[in-house]
Each structure stands twice: as structure tokens, then as C-alpha cells.
Structure 1
Amino acid sequence: MEEVDRILIHSLRTCGTEIPEEVQSVRQFTTEIIVEAVVRCLRVINPSVASNLSHVLPPGMSARFRIGTSLAQACQDLGYNGEVGYQTFLYSSEPDIRALLIFLAEKLPRHSQEDAHQPAGKSAVLQREIASKIKQQLSVPWIPPMCRTAAAERSQSMCLSHRFQGQLLSLAGDHSAKSIPPERREYWEKYLPLVNMQLPHSYTLVASLLERNVLDISAVQEWEAEWKSQGLASRLSAEEYRSRKRQRLQKRIQDQLRQCNQQLLENNTLSAATQDFVDMLKSFTVEGETDQNKGSRFTHAKKFTHQQDPQVLNEQMQRAAESLSRKDAQNADTEEQELTSLQQQIELIEQEIQGLTESVKVLHLTLSQVEEETSKMQQGCKEKEDVVRVKKRAVELLPDAENNLTKLQAMIDSSTQRLVNLAGQWESHRVRLVEEYRELRRVHQEKEDESSRWMKDVKDLYDKIRASADEAKRKEELYKQLVSEYESLPKEVSRAAYTQRILEIVSNIKKQKEDITKILSDTKELQKEINSLTGKVDRTFVVTDELVFKDAKKDETVRKAYKYLAALHENCAQLIQTIQDTGTILREIRDLEEQIETETAKKTLSNLQKILEDYKAIKQENTLLLGRVREA
């Protein structure tokens, strides 16, 4: 029991119970220590239940009884099957308290038995640190602003609060990747500023890092989901799938840019910014797209018109500027008049250009319609020419109709014979081709099945790899958590000493089991020997009784010996019965001594004294209450 008590005391101390160093067993627990230990354990097991319970005993007896009753009810709610009540805590006995504390110690949460779905690793450690920090800040009383010290000003002032707003960060990539250009790698190594130097305010650093981390994790998860759903089905490698996706995206961007450029050309809003946009579009154009640059006469005429109008306008503007510079030496009135006339000319030219543009659009539409009608008419002419050609041939054959019919019939017969021969040849070839087709189809189907099976195996393997990676990550986080908890544990407790002590207890128990087994076997052998000797004595007495009884009828001396023999047998039976009764009495004595020790451990006398003292204290409290009631 000493080892059990030491382990139990260590568990209670880890829960926050203040147990003095001189206390080494449950027998030395006082009522205050028992109540504090039970309340601390209940707070760890179920904080909501023990939140209203105090671990300090109040001086009043009625309050003590209420606390004892509340603790007993909380222990019963946890599933304790033993007898528990207020007397268990106020008038404690060693066996009852030991059983209750062992039950509570077994109910304490153990990190090694946590469920896999519970938060583990860095998140759990962070949550505990946050909870401890909040508890520490809540335990500090509020101080008015005029009375705060520097530390209180930092912890309780609201002027340091800021919005949780993140900023975009530029981070260096993987330097080991071969596809990174050397210019970018040099920028990362020499010119990329640190993360805290990229932000305008230092208080946005945490929010920015968290936002960037969330973006990276989301990108990884989206890529894994896309690769698992579409990438594996495409039967391409990861790099090929990314390259094809990049090409599709680039082609879509080019199509959008071309459409925007076409709309700008149609609206005749070409300017310097538009020219820059066209140059950028040309830089996006992929080599080998010469076919897309080809167009109809309408497209070329349209481009030529829209490219010439701004040039004409620029030339006219230049001529107007030159005329203005030549006449600049003249008076200002003539300059203003010329400027006004030039502006009017520009407006007229712009109106003419706009009218010409609209007329060009109308002409282009008319031209497209005319081209469509012309193509339709040409197609109708071709059809009519074919009909006329056939009728012409028929008219030419009419003068010699009988010979022509004979020739036609011969040609039909020869054609029929040739078709029959060709059909026979085709049939022979068709059989061979059908067999080859079926064989190729069977091989293709087998390859398809094998490919599907490999695809399924790859998906299963990918799922297993994903599960193994998650399991490894969870175990690594659990390992880090256990390491951090181990480092936070008090170093004065030697785990090797506890392990050695547990091994010694196990070896002692094993030795005791062996001794008990040996004693039981010796007892069984002794009982067998006693039974055999008893049977042998009974058989010997029966045989001796018969022999002596036969001779006792004839000889008086033998008759006396027979009486002595009977008396000896009776006395031996009484002696054996006395020995058995003595053993039974000794066992009862040992049982009574154990019961006495148990009752002594219950501290009945001291509990009775406590009950009498509590009874006197309750009477005094009742007297004081009655006096207050009478005074009121």
C-alpha cells in the first residue's frame, strides 16, 4: 500500500493539490487535504461540474456539510459505485478515501489514450498556452487608468489594440528547383527584403503571415483535389498536366486579348494606349500562328482603312502646325483666326472620317451579303451545268440507240462481273481484316482493363500514401506534444525511479503469487496425506478390532486389550477433532484481528470525537442564530 499511496500522491500533486512533503500515505491525509484533492481531480475531469465547488473548507459546519454532500453527488455522477456521502470527507476512513482517490485518479485524462479526433500537437499546446495566458490575465484585478503601472498599462490599455488585417507578402521560393531562372534566384538572395520590412506597420505581421499560410495550404489542398479528380484520369505526369493547363490558360488569355483588340478596331478608338496594347498582344502571340493572321479581303481593307485614317489626321495636324509656326511671326489676331479655321477643318475632317467609316461599314455588310448571294448562285450554276452535261450526253446517244444499249448492257454485265469478283476478293480480305480487327480490339480491351486496374491501384496507393502521410504527421505532432509536456514536467521526479519501483512491486507480487501457489500445493499434499493416514488408521482399526474381538471371546487379557484399543481409538478421534477446532479458532482469531485493524483504520473513536465536537459547534451556531432571530 505504501507504493500505491506514493503513486496516488504524485498523481494528486500533478493535478494541483498542495500536499506537504512529510505526508507519505493516505493515512496521514487530513480533511482539508481530502477535500482539496477531490475538488482538484473533479476540476480536471469535468470543469463544468466542479466550477462552483471550493477546494477550501469554510469554518461553518453547515457549509461543510453542504460541500461534503455536493462532492458526494459529483462523485456518484461520475460513476463511483462505492458508498459515499458527506461523512466520507468530514469523518474519513483510510480504505474509503483510498478507494475514492484511486477511482478519481483513474478518471483523470491521459494524453496517451486520447482519441485520434481530439486536437493534438502544436494546436493543443497553443490552446493550453492561450488558456493559461487568459486565466493569468483574468486573475489580475482591474486597475483604474490613473493608478496603473507600466506593466499594467501594457496589459490593460486599449490603445495598443489594432485591427487584424493582413498584407500581401513576397516570399522566396524553393532554391533547389531547376526551373527557376537565375535572375529570380539572385533577386531572392540579394534584393528581396525581409518579411517584417515589407509591411508598413509591425502589428500587421502576424495577420499577414497567417493569411499567407492559409493561402498556401488552400493552394496545396486545391491542387491535391484537382490532381486526384482530373490529373490521374488524364494519365499524365504532374509536370505534363501543369504544362498543359498553363498552355490552355495562355491560349484563353490570347483569345480574350484578340477579341478586345478586334472590338477596339471596330470602334475606331485606336490611340497610343491602344497601340501599346496591340504590341503587348503581339508579344503574347505564339510562333507558328501565321494561319490566324490570314484574313479575307474585307479584313485587310478594314485594317488598312483604320490604320490610314489616323495617319492622314496626323499629317493634316502636322501641316496645320507648320502653317501656324510660319504665321507665328504675324499678329495674334490672324493666328487666332487661323487656329479657329483649322479647328473647324479638323472637326469637318473628323465628321467626314466618321461618315466614311459608317459608309465603309455599310459597304462591308453589303459586300458580305453580295458575296454570299454570289456563292449561292455559283453553286446553283454548277448543279445546272451537271444536269445539262448529262442530258447532252443522252441526246448524243439517241441516233444509235440499239448499239448504244447493247454496249451499255455489255458494260453493265462486265461491271457486274467485276463487282462480283471484287466482292469475292473483298470477302476474303474482309475475313482476315475482321479477324485482325477482333484480335486488335481484344488486345485493346485487355490493355484498357489493365490500364483501369493500374489506375485503380494508383488511386488506392495515392489514398494510402495520403493516409500514411496524415498518420505520420499526426504522430509527429503527438510526439512533439509529448516532448513539450515532458520538458514542462518537474525534473526532480525521476521516471527511472518510478519504473524501478513498479518493477520491484511486480516482482514482489510475482514472488508472493509463487509463495501462495507453493503453500496451496503443500496444503493440498498435506490434506491428501492426512486423508490417506486417516483412511489407513480406520482400516487398521477395523482389522485389529476384528482380530482382537475373535480372541477376546476366549481370553480375559485379550478382552482388556480390546477395551483399551477402543478407548485409544476414541481418544485419538477426540484429539484430532480438538486439533481441527483449534485451527478453526485460530482462523477466526486472525479474521477478528483483521476486522479490528480495519475498524481501527476507520478511526471510529476520532470520528466520534469529531462528530461530538461538530454537534457542539452546530448547537452553538443554532443558539447564536436563535439569539439573532429574537433580537430581530
Structure 2
Amino acid sequence: MEEVDKILIHALKQVGTEVSEDTASVKHLTGELIVEAVARCIRVIDPGLGSPLPTSLPPGMSARFRVGTSLAQACQDIGYKGEIGYQTFLYSNEPEIRSLLMFLVEKLPRERAEASDQPTGKSVVLQRAVAAAIKAQLAVPWLPPNCRLPLHAETQSPVALHCFHAQPLSLPHCSKGPGKDPLREVQDYQREILPPVTAQPSHHASVVAYILEQHAAELSAAQEWDNEWNSQGLLSRLTPQEYRSRKLIRLRKRVEEQLHSAALPSAEGDFGPRSTSDLSDLLQAFRGSTPSDHILAKGSNFTHTQKFTFTQQPAAAVTGPSVPAGHQSESDVQLRQQEEQLSLQQQFQHLCSEFEELAADMKHMRVTNAQVLDELKQRELGNSENEEKMQLKKKTIDLLPDADNNLLKLQALVEASANRVVNLASQWEKHRAPLIDEHRRLKEICSNQDLESSRKLSEMKSLHDKIRVSTEEAKRKEEIYKQLVTELENLPQDASRSAYTQRILEIVNNIQKQKEEITKILSDTKELQKEINSLTGKLDRTFAVTDELVFKDAKKDESVRKSYKYLAALHENCNQLIQTIEDTGTILREIRDLEEQAMLMLPSVTSHQ
């Protein structure tokens, strides 16, 4: 074990662990050195996993538990199968630490093992630490600036950024199917006038973002249409074109009704049925902010015209009989109607423009409201954090006059919490052991059941294969039997018995000769196998003796240590070469067997043909 410990300590020094020269065994390693050695080995094995691991134990007991747990989890992540936990580092056991360090040293990269023979210094250790830090930074994924933590903000410097605003793109869509061919003018516009997609955005760097935004919008619209068609369109028993046209007509009618209801006097709006749509709520909100006598007074001549018409009708009815009917010609009536129609159209257009302006203002107000709410939430969070800090500082200031007694109380609380944590850890270990045993037992039962089921499944498959092969063999033999019966019927009946007897005797003599040759080949094979076994045993004994001699010298001489490594590699390569030769012989035998089977099957195939 002393030689093993020396090799382990030498390897730990190579990875940067500050082990003193007096340390000659694993049992002399302190908890600080064990944590540092494990953390540095994990950093060399997997820089991304080992970079956040600390190389020293903090003073607090709870922080020590967290460090031990994180180191144990990292060792399990890189493949350590032994029992490990925070107790391995806080309450170290020599065999457990030795097995863990042996696993970590074996996991070190080969370049590190080869470089262990070279002299090291502070500069080499610094270069390795810089390389490990760079690898760890390269392993960190890129995050947008708004999602970066302080660590990412330091390692990932922001580049030139600009605010992104989605800009609609004009893309030529290919539509196939009857009745969907685009117009010739549209094709000419898309081919000659429409700029390419890369030239349409205002920022060239956001071309991909604009395309993704356009694709997301089209995809969401297609999904909404599919959902609406599957839920409502299919029930209407209409074609998609008819359903779309009917929906467009309903939408236009609804907008006209909302505009008409918004233009009516307030009395009708107060006593009539109130719509619950968003458009009516929007219009009613703007109507409610003004007096009832001045609804839509700004630029809304349609309301004044209605009021004037409805209020002037009684007066006209009173004064109507006094005007002679002959003075009103049809041309004057038509002219007055045209003028009224033009004025109504202008009022309607003005109303539409005002409605669009109001909708844009509402959208802007919603965005502004959302921004204000977000800013308010952020400020509330900042205020809560500041209040917590203020409360903490206030409590600290209150404790300053009696600092000594408070420190003693705080130390007592820390020790009590540490003892409680240790007690809880021991209780957890008591509960954990039977649970682990039960888990292992159940896992073993499941594995046995899996093996049994896989074995039965393989047996069923093999039985099915055998049944299929047997069926095919029976069919083939039945065909051969029919062929032999026909050949027997075609053979002449006056064949001599002596000729068949002579042929049978010749076959028997050939079989005896083949048996003698087979016996001779088997005896030669046994002798060769014995010789191979004796040579193999001799080779193993020779390697064992050589290994022992070289290992003794490797303790004293560095060059002999390299020779010992080369000897082990040579032995492993020789074993692989022997295994390859045996596999080659097996494959050659299988090839010969398959060729013989093919030669045997060839006459039967030709006879069937």
C-alpha cells in the first residue's frame, strides 16, 4: 500500500495539489487536502463539471455539508460506483479515500499521465489553471443580455446591440390547386419590383429574426385556423371558402352595428341593450368621458345631422302645409338627397379615421400601461430587498452594544444547529441504510425478472424458428420423397442385387477410411491444443516473473517505470493478437462449414430445378 500511496500522492502533486514532502501515505492527508485533491482531479477530468467546485472547506458546518454533497455528486457524475457522500470528506476513512483517489487518478487523461514524468513548476501549474479556466468559460452556454447572471455578464461581453421591432416582410407565396393561381400583375410585381428578403428589413443583422417572426406569425395563424375549422367550421357543413366569406360578412356587419350604436344619442345607449364586445367597450369608454349632450362633438357631424333632422321634422310638419307643393320639383329633391348622401359618406369616413386613431391611442396606452406595471413591479422588488437589508442592518446595529454576549449566543446557536444537523444526518443514515437495501433487493428482483422474461422470449423465438425450419424441412423431404418415388417407378425392374451390394460395400469402406482420417485429425488437434496450453502457461509464468522483477526495479528507477508500462502494454497487445488469431481461425472454420453446406445443397437445388 505504501507504493500505491506514493504513486497517488505523486499524481495529486501533478494536478496542482499542495501536498507537503513529509506526506507519504493517504492516512496523513487532512480534510482540506482531500477536498482540494478531489476538486482538482475533477477539474482535470471534466472542466465544465469541476470549475464551480471549491478547493477548500468553508468554516461553517452547513457550508461544509453542501461542499461535501457537491463533491460526492460530481464523483458520481463522472462514473464512481462506490458508496460516497458528504461523510466521505468530512469524516474521512482511509480505505474509502484510497479507493476514490485511485479511481480519480485512473480517470485522468493520458496526456496528464504522460506529462506526470516531466518536471513541474509554478509557471506550468499557472498555465494549466488558465487553460482549465478557458475551457470552463467555453463550456458555458451563451445567454441573451437580459437573462445573464453576474457570472455570465463577466465572461460574456455584450456586442453592439439594437432594439428589435418586428417588421412585416413581403414574401411570394406559392399556391397550388384549382382556382388559386396568382394574377399576372402580382407575378410581375414579385418578379421585377419586389426587393429580396435580405433588402427589406431596416437592419441587415436582423434578417433572420424578421424571417423567424414572419414564420411564427404565419404558423400561429395556420394553427388558429385549423383549431377554428376543426371546432366550428366542420359543424357548419360549409367549404373553407364559404366559411371564410361568411365570417368576413359577419365581422363587417358587426363593425357597422358597433359604429351605428356608437353614433346614436346617449338616451338610447343608456336604456337600450348594451353590447359586451371589445369595440363597444372602447367606444362607450370614450363616450362616458363626455357629457351626454356633447357625445362625439369633436368632428362628428353625423350626430349633429341626426339631431337636426329629428328635431326639425316636427317643425317641418307644422310649416309643411303652408308651402305649396308645386314649388318643390323632383330635381331639387334628388339634388338634396345627393348632397345628404355625400355629407353622410364624408361623416362616415371621418368617423372611421377617428376610430382608427382611437384604436392606435388605446394600443399605445396599453403598451405604456404594461411598461409602467413592469417598472412598478421591479421597483417593488427593489423596495422589498432594500427593506430586508435595512431590517438586517437595524438588527445588527441593535446587537452592537452587547456584542460579546451576542457573539456567544450566536456561537451557541451555530453549534446547536451544527449538532442538530449532525444528529439529523445520523438519523437519516439509520433510515437510509434499510431503504438502500430494500432498493437494491427490489432492483435485483426486477433485473432477475427482466432476465427471465428475456430468456423466455428468446426461447419462444428459437422455438418459432425451429418450427418454421422443421416445416420447411418436412416440405422439402416430402418433395424429395415424391421425386424418389417417381424415379423408383421409372427405374427398370430387372436391376441386379449384386451391383447394389457392391456399391454399399464401397460406401462402407469409404466411411471407415473417413473415420480413420477424422480420428487422426482429432489426435493431431489434441496434441496441438496441449502444446498451445503449455506455451500459454509458460508465457503467463514468464510474464509474471518479468512483471515482478521489473516492478521491484520500478520503485527505484524512473526509466524502469517506463519499461514497466511498456511491458504491460506489450502483454495486453499480445493477448489481443492471440484473441484475433483465434477469432480468425473460428471464422475460417465457419466459412469452410458454410462452403460444405452449400456444396451439399447444390445437387438438391439442381435436381429441384
Same structural fold, with TM-score higher than 0.5 when normalized by the shorter chain:
no
Larger Rg: 1
Task: Give the TM interval when normalised to the shorter protein.
Answer: under 0.3
